[in-house]
Each structure stands twice: as structure tokens, then as C-alpha cells.
Amino acid sequence: MANYFNTLPFREQLKQLGVCEFMDKDEFADGVNALKGKKIVIVGCGAQGLNQGLNLRDSGLDVSYALRKEAIEQKRASWKNATDNNFQVGTYEELIPIADLVINLTPDKQHTSVINAVMPLMKKGATLSYSHGFNIVEEGMQIRKDITVIMVAPKSPGSEVRAEYLRGFGVPTLIAVHPENDPEGKGLEWAKAYCVGIGGHRAGVLRSSFVAEVKSDLMGEQTILCGLLQTASILSFDKMIEKGIDPGYAAKLVQYGVEVITEALKHGGITGMMDRLSNPAKIKAFEVAEELKSIMRPLFEKHMDDILSGEFSKTMMEDWANGDAKLLKWRAETAETAFEKTPAGDMPISEQEYFDNYTLMVAFIKAGVELAFETMVDAGIKPESAYYESLHETPLIANTIARKKLYEMNRVISDTAEYGCYLFDQACKPLLADFMKKVDTDLVGKNFNEGKDNSVDNQLLIKINEAIRNHPVEDVGRVLRKAMTAMKSIKAS
């Protein structure tokens, strides 16, 4: 199998990278009807599998789970997930032949073997779905020509796909039909119905391509979503300890701060988040973010280049072939960081204090979101897609850190995202070493405004406000958030 993207002529690569059409709410007026009465079989009951299945069933669809024999016999976590929630569970042989729609929600590294096992059992004319197109785009998997191949990719961890659905909202979702596999022309209708079934249409849906989804998804998860949140959390915690801040306070500020700060981002964009700071702190955060952007830009660009060239997927697949040696080593190292091992204290921290005492994280988030957005758009990914993959998803990942720190984030995201996260983190920390030497507790750990006269240069403030509001991520964000009429607030811990 060859890398599908790399086999495409250059112009076709650009065309597929740029597929991105924001879908009007009216296009979902038929709801889940295209899938009513169809037999939906999900392969795998993990992070996405369980949560998507729960939403689809609550939306009135017929869902069951095909698990490998050993998982059923040994009553593994996936079997428990499914049976505790009263889903029908069976082997591939029992369930795949009767499925109209097979949804592959196993880890990307298993896709080739899972598809090779499942495809011969699928009935003629059935549909196969993915939530990430790695197997098709980076591995070049070929699917039987009678099978329709679609993608419904929620821009969020599985836990938040469920949590947002239960809040009456949803998560932005990319849908696509593989151009090589749409023999009956039904792919789009089925993808739309599936997307409604998981609640994606309430947050915003882009008609995308497998190529655009893969290249943008890998970029978002490696940089702003997971890599930078990991780097910024560890560096912030370590700095506070170095400066003598109480460890329990430092652990709490970092664990919950990112969720509180990015909640402002979700509702009001970078502008809304920056507006939560005092004027002097906003000016400082702006300047710090500019410095961070100039330090980290080459790293963001390297990640995008390696993703586009296939270098990233090649090296990750080498690790798959090597029994995940690097992934497992990096995972173990992350579990040993002082941040991970220090319990959050029980002192109260008000919602505003998270902004006032953690200006550094505001600057990191501004820098990371803007850099990820700029780098993706420069590479040919459309702004709407880049917005979902950077700004909107950051708070959804932050929710997982608030639950159980970086351990929880890395547990809940895909193995593919986790591998890329560690790769970024290892390259980013040394880049930021000199910058971090200059950071003091006014930026992290104590109130930025304390002991300062709080005067500001009006002209400078006006210029900074304009620069924040006129960034292209804010332009597209204002439009996309207008469609998010059902977005709900989550309470600060």
C-alpha cells in the first residue's frame, strides 16, 4: 500500500486539501432518516466508539458492537463498555454480515488489520465509515468497489462528543465521502444522517475530504491541542515550584486554569479571552504571545511540513512496527513529571483569579491558536477547518486536563494524537528554555496587577485591541460562532 496523498498529482493534492464547505442547517432537515431502520455496527468500543454509539442510539438508531473474539471471551474494557450500556455485542462473523453501516472506531494503527478482517464479511453495497482518514490517506487502504466509504470526524475527544450532546449541543464535525468509493451516490446522505445522530449539526459541519481532514487533524493535535497544552502546563508548573509557589496551588492553577481560560476562548474567541485580563495584563500577554510566536513558528511549520510530506506518518508507522516503543516510553515519562504527581490543593481559586494569576497561559493559548491557524491556512487548509481544529477544540481538550491532568488528556485522545503530542513537546521545551528563564511569578502564580500602578498607554492599547480583533482566526470565528446558537457554558471547578 502506498501513501494515497503522495500518489496524487500536485494540483489534485491542493484541490483535496482545500475541500471545505460550511453546511447550512437546512441541509440536515432530514435528520437521521437516511439511517432509520438500518443496522449500524460499530467496530471497537473505546473513546469514540462508546460515546458515538450512545449518541446514535439516543437519536433513535439501531446500534450494536462487533468486537474481536478475545475481547468478548476475556470480558475486556470494550466488552464491559458495551454490555454495561445494554448494547448488543457480537463477533465480527456474527454482526458484520448483517450490517448496513460498519463504523470503524478502532485505533488507527489497527485499521489495516481490522479492515482486512472485516471487509470480506461486509455485505454487497454496505457502507464503511471512519472518524479519521489516516488509513485511507496515509496508508492507501483500498476498499472493495461496491462499498461506500464515508468519514464523520468529530473535532473533539469522544468524552466531549457525549458531554456536549447531553448538554443539547454538539461538536463541530467534518464529513466526507471517499471519491474512490461512492458507487451508489448515497455517501453524503448517510454521512449527514450519522452526523445528526451524534449531534454534530448543532455545532457546525464542514463538507471536507479525507485528505483535508487527515492533514488538518494531525496538525491540530500535534501542536496547539495537545502538544502545546502539555508543554505549557509542565513549564508553568515547574516555574511556580522554582519560584517557591505552594505546590498544591500551582497544581490546581495549571490543572483547572486551562479549562477556565479556554472557556472564554470558546465563547468569545481570542478577543473574549484577552478581554478577561486587566488592560496592563492584556498588553503584557499580547507582547509575550508575539515573542512565543516568533520562537515557535519554525516548529509549527516543521510539523505541518512533515505531515504534508508523509514523513510524520512514516516515522509513526515505524514505531507501530516496533511495538510502540517510543510511544510507551514517552507515555511513562509524562506520568513521572512533577505536575502529574502533585495533587491539586483544596484552596479556593475564583474564576477571575485563574486569568489574573495565569497570564502566561493566556499568552500560550493566543500564540498557539494563532500559529496553528496561520500555519494550516498557509498550507492550503481552509480557515473554517483551521478554526475548528485550533480555536474551538482547544477548550474541549482542556476539559480532559481539568479531569485528571495530562494523563487524562493522553488517555482520551487517539494514540495517533498522543504520539504527535509527545513529539512536539520534546522539541518545544528546549526551544523555550531561554524564554522561560525570564518568566517570573507576575506571569504565573501571582496576580499580574499586584504592586503595579496599572497605567496604560492608550495608543498602544488601541493598537493591540485592533491587532487582536483583526486576526483572521477572529474573522472566521465570529461567523462560525453565529451558527453555534445552542452552545452551553460549563461551570468552573
Ligand X SMILES: NC(=O)C1=CN([C@@H]2O[C@H](COP(=O)(O)OP(=O)(O)OC[C@H]3O[C@@H](n4cnc5c(N)ncnc54)[C@H](OP(=O)(O)O)[C@@H]3O)[C@@H](O)[C@H]2O)C=CC1
Ligand Y SMILES: CC[C@](O)(C(C)=O)C(=O)O
Q: Which is nearer to ligand X, 369 or 396 (CB)?
A: 396
Q: Which is nearer to Mg ion, 127 or 385 (CB)?
A: 385
Q: How far from the centroid of its chain's Cα atoms is residue 96's Cα? A: 29
Distance CA 139, CA 183 (A): 22
Q: Is 207 annotated as a binding residue?
A: no
Q: Which is nearer to ligand Y, 217 or 442 (CB)?
A: 217
Q: Which is nearer to ligand Y, 164 or 217 (CB)?
A: 217
Instruction: Return the one option of ligand X, Mg ion, ligand Y, none that residue 225 interacts with (CB less than 5 to 8 A, by type).
Output: ligand Y
The DSSP annotation for 187-206 comes to HHHHHHHHHHHHTGGGT-EE
> In 3D, which of 334, 296, 299, 314 has the Cα closest to residue 418?
334
Q: Is 208 annotated as a binding residue?
A: no
- Is residue 225 within the footprint of ligand Y (CB under 6 A)? yes
- What are the cell numbers at 372? 496553528
- Is residue 171 within the footprint of Mg ion (CB under 5 A)? no
**15 to 19, 61, 142: CA distances (angstroms):** 7, 35, 21
Contact 409, 222 (CB under 8 A): no
Catalytic pick from 132, 178, 201, 303? 132
DSSP state of 230: H
Q: How far is the CB of 115 from ligand X (least distance, A)?
A: 10
The CA-to-CA distance between both ends of the chain, in Å, stands at 48
The contact pattern for Mg ion, residues 405-424, with x = CB under 5 A and - = no contact, is ---------x--x-------
Contact 131, 48 (CB under 8 A): yes
Q: Is 304 exposed, middle or buried (0-12, 13-18, 19+ CB in 10 A)?
A: buried
Q: Residue 225: CB partners within 8 Å, gap ≥ 6? A: 372, 389, 390, 393, 394, 397, 417
Helix ranges restricted to H, 322-449: 325-335, 338-341, 351-356, 359-378, 383-387, 393-412, 415-431, 433-438
Of 109-117, 207-215, 377-385, 468-476, the segment contacting ligand X by CB under 6 A is: 109-117
- Is residue 158 within the footprint of ligand X (CB under 6 A)? yes
Q: Is 217 annotated as a binding residue?
A: yes
Among 138, 160, 217, 384, binds Mg ion (CB under 5 A): 217
- Is residue 413 within the footprint of ligand Y (CB under 6 A)? yes
Backbone angles phi, psi at 45, to 5 degrees: -130, 65
Q: How far is the CB of 131 from Mg ion (least distance, A)?
A: 8
Q: Which is nearer to ligand Y, 67 or 417 (CB)?
A: 417
Among 416, 428, 445, 480, binds ligand Y (CB under 6 A): 416
- Is residue 49 within the footprint of ligand X (CB under 6 A)? yes
Q: Which is nearer to Mg ion, 363 or 417 (CB)?
A: 417
Residue of minimal CB distance from ligand X? 46
- Residues listed for the chain: 493
Among 205, 226, 273, 285, binds ligand Y (CB under 6 A): 226
- What are the cell numbers at 300? 509549527
- Is residue 342 within the footprint of ligand Y (CB under 6 A)? no
Q: Which residue has the cell 497544581?
A: 251
Q: Is 76 annotated as a binding residue?
A: yes
- Is residue 162 within the footprint of ligand Y (CB under 6 A)? no
Residue of minimal CB distance from Mg ion? 217
Q: Which is nearer to ligand Y, 165 or 448 (CB)?
A: 165
In 3-state terms, what secondary structure has residue 100?
coil
Q: How far is the CB of 121 from ligand X (least distance, A)?
A: 13
Q: Burial letters for 131-149: b for 16+ Cβ neighbours within 10 Å, e otherwise?
A: bbbbbbbbbebebeeebbb
Q: Residue 63: CB partners within 8 Å, gap ≥ 6? A: 40, 41, 42, 53, 56, 57, 87
Instruction: Return the one option of ligand Y, ligand X, Mg ion, none that residue 319 interacts with (CB less than 5 to 8 A, by type).
Output: none
Q: Is 389 annotated as a binding residue?
A: yes
Instruction: Return the one option of Mg ion, ligand X, ligand Y, none that residue 20 interacts with (CB less than 5 to 8 A, by type).
Output: none
Q: Is 414 annotated as a binding residue?
A: yes
Of 206-214, 375-383, 413-421, 429-437, the segment contacting ligand X by CB under 6 A is: 413-421
Bridge partners, 177 (sequence order):
150
Q: Active-site residue 132, yes or no?
A: yes
**169 to 123, 358, 461, 490: CA distances (angstroms):** 34, 29, 36, 12
Among 59, 64, 78, 209, binds ligand X (CB under 6 A): 78
The DSSP annotation for 133-193 comes to -HHHHTS-----TTSEEEEEEESS-HHHHHHHHHTT----EEEEE-TT--TTS-HHHHHHH
User: Among residue numbers 457 through 476, which ones bind ligand Y (CB under 6 A)?
Assistant: none
Instruction: Return the one option of Mg ion, ligand X, ligand Y, none that residue 45 interacts with (CB less than 5 to 8 A, by type).
Output: ligand X
Q: Which is nearer to ligand X, 160 or 374 (CB)?
A: 160
The site for ligand Y (CB under 6 A) is made up of 155-157, 217, 221, 225-226, 397, 413-414, 416-417
Catalytic residues: 132
Would you list which residues are annotated within the binding site for substrate?
278, 414
Q: Residues within the annotated binding site?
A: 45-48, 68, 76, 78, 108-110, 158, 217, 221, 278, 389, 393, 414
User: Binding site for Mg(2+): residue ranges?
Assistant: 217, 221, 389, 393
